[in-house]
Amino acid sequence: MTVSVSAMLFDILPVLLACTLSAVIWNFFFIPPTFTFHIDNTEDLLMFLLYFVIASVNAALTFKIRQEEKKSREKEEKEKSIALYNTLLNSLSHELRTPLSTILGSVDTLQENKDKLSDKNQKELLNQIETASLRLNRQVENLLNMSRLQTGMLKPSIDWCDINELIYDVIQKTETPATHKITVAANDHLPLFKLDRGFMEQILQNLIHNAIHYTPEHTTITIASEHQGNVCILTISDTGNGISETALPFIFDKFYRLPNTKTGGSGLGLSIVKGFVEAHDGTIVLKNNPSGGLICTVSIPAETSFVNNLKNE
């Protein structure tokens, strides 16, 4: 048993040492004459040698099995990495090429037909360039942020943050189509929170963008904020169709996209949101709303202070 356990934990040399010691100890304590290393008869000598051989074979086989299991795990991890790499390449081929093609095509049209285009058409082309540039920038930011999260290079820079101001700033920067409506359940009694404003902006931007992109027309997106003690709670809900319960456990996985969803997106947005939330030691929960749509709740522990108290400090 000792040899088998050693073979599961250590390299081959310690295992062979354990095998040798177990045979010698067995000889010393149990083979007559006891408490000596001498063996009187041939039968006991043969038994000692067989014990040593069997223990050695057991050690070698157990160690070999452990090596094969390790190789199998490494192979699975390599295959998984290759699958993720292929997914990333497929995503990049579409998500980066599409806005780049839009930008290049619009620029070529403006350069070659500037005198023939009306002011309205030129403005439309410029709007297309702006939209494609923002999409391209969002994808690059997501890839960079995911890379930094994986390498542990992204650390929150904590400072006082006004959540209400942050919410309105993000909404103002977000390009909201006429088919969707964003409302804010204002909370004028919120304290200031010590958070990383950049992280919080990215969290809200990604959640709002996801809600806009993956919900049908005439969907209302509601953003609410509250605090419970020293915990900042943000809730982003929508009146869309929700998602299946079987998909909920995978929704924050890298590159995961819901089946039969419209094109666009690399499956990184929600995984980045989770990474930024966890960088604040917070939690994020996504669930279906019984009345329809999804409810995303972000809870982040943070130091709080009301404005008057902060001024006094």
Convert the pLDDT of each residue in 80-91 to its tens digit. 666 655 655 555
Average pLDDT of the chain to the nearest whole number: 81
- Number of domains comprising the chain: 3
Residues 262-266: contacts with CB under 8 Å, at least 24 apart: 262/213, 262/214, 263/94, 264/95, 264/213, 265/95, 265/210, 265/213, 266/88, 266/91, 266/92, 266/95, 266/139, 266/142, 266/143
Amino acid identity for residue 30 in this structure? F
Q: Residue range 60-66: average pLDDT? A: 79
pLDDT at 91: 56
Q: Nearest Cα to 258, choosing from 277, 235, 242, 273?
A: 242
Q: Note whether 145 and 152 are within 8 A (CB).
A: no
DSSP state of 174: S
pLDDT at 284: 93
> Are residues 166 and 51 part of one domain?
no
Query: Final residue of a domain: which of 47, 78, 109?
Result: 78
DSSP state of 293: S
Res 58 pLDDT > 90: no
Domain with 16, as residue range(s), is 2-78
Give the C-alpha separation, 259 to 250, whole Å: 12
Summarised one tens digit per residue, pLDDT across range 206-265 is: 899 888 888 888 899 999 999 888 899 999 999 988 888 888 888 887 767 776 666 555
Q: Note whether 224 and 182 are within 8 A (CB).
A: no
Residue 143 lies in a domain: yes
pLDDT at 313: 52
Res 62 pLDDT > 80: no
Residue 70 lies in a domain: yes
Give the C-alpha separation, 258 to 213, whole Å: 12
Query: Final residue of a domain: which of 151, 179, 197?
Result: 151
> Are residues 10 and 141 part of one domain?
no
Band of residue 154 on the pLDDT scale cut at 50, 70, 90: low
Give the C-alpha separation, 121 to 139, whole Å: 27
> Are residues 171 and 119 part of one domain?
no
Residue 89 lies in a domain: no
Give the C-alpha separation, 188 to 210, whole Å: 27
